[in-house]
Structure 1
């Protein structure tokens, strides 16, 4: 089976939402919530179509999806702009084949090309740790709630001013 990654187009909007929903068929509550979240974020001012990647099969079916949304990391004296993984889904039949890893790597490369230095994630910790994400608290990056877990990945090896502080998600993120 051939799988290729691409930027989402308007023709893919409904297909990608259906794919997201199918990815969570075993959990109907999460299924519609994930779909609604992505649909809502696409209409938000922080949406950047270049930071949404889909995977398609040879039949042009959407079988995977990832979306990053801009967040702020506020320190005492500076605001850093970072990204957060808002959604990652892979069709159940294709899990375990590194498609999720490929989607994340593709969107991280796009983030790097847009000169973002970090990506944070607040869910699926075991999975993202396998992709090089680290405990954000060890890098002085925390959520407003303080003790909630958070992971971070630095996209650049040598940062002279690494982001640190409190992560502020856009109001439309949740």
Structure 2
């Protein structure tokens, strides 16, 4: 079976939301509204379709999805535009085959091509740390959410700029 990664098109809007909902259906740590978050992000003024990737099987069905959206990392001196990786999903029958990693690498490449240098993610450290994500608090980057520090991570795409401060998510995340 062949799997293809591609930029989301309008034809994929509904099927991608259905795939995301299905992917998170049995995930214990989920609030099960990831598809609603995606809808809100897509309607926001800062949405960039080039930072949204889907995986399709050889029948053309969406089987995985990843999305990056802008956030602001802010301290007393500076504001820095970064990205949040949320959500990443793969249908259960396609998991443990490297598809989530491929989706993440695809959106990271697109982020680099758009001159972004920092990505934050809220997720399982056992999954994200092998992909180069580190505890954000080690870099003085803090989540606005009340979560264990280990679950809030950062990845720097360049060595140039390392922002610090609190991450401010857009209203779509509220």
- Normalised by the length of structure 2, the TM-score is 0.91
Indicate the residue corresponding to 1:9 in structure 2: 9
CA contact (8 A) 2:25 2:32 kept: no
Indicate the residue corresponding to 1:153 in structure 2: 155
* Residues 81, 141 of structure 1: alpha-carbon distance in 2 compared, 3 angstrom cutoff: same
Unaligned stretches of 5+ in structure 2?
none
Which structure 2 residues correspond to residues 99-118 of structure 1 after superposition, within 5 A? 99-118=99-118
CA RMSD of aligned residues (A): 1.9
CA contact (8 A) 1:53 1:103 kept: yes
Aligned residues: 172
Indicate the residue corresponding to 1:46 in structure 2: 46
Deviations along 1:60-119, one digit per CA (max 9) or x if unpaired, are 000000011100001221110000012100010110000000000000000011111110
Deviations along 1:124-153, one digit per CA (max 9) or x if unpaired, are 222111211001111111123587522000
Q: Following the alignment from structure 2 to structure 1, what is the Cα–Cα distance between the partners of residues 46 and 127?
A: 26
Unaligned stretches of 5+ in structure 1?
none
CA contact (8 A) 1:75 1:166 kept: yes
Deviations along 1:17-65, one digit per CA (max 9) or x if unpaired, are 1111111232599485111111121111221101100000110000000
Q: Following the alignment from structure 1 to structure 2, what is the Cα–Cα distance between the partners of residues 113 and 138?
A: 26
Do residues 26 (structure 1) and 55 (structure 2) align? no
Do residues 139 (structure 1) and 139 (structure 2) align? yes
- Normalised by the length of structure 1, the TM-score is 0.91
Indicate the residue corresponding to 2:172 in structure 1: 172
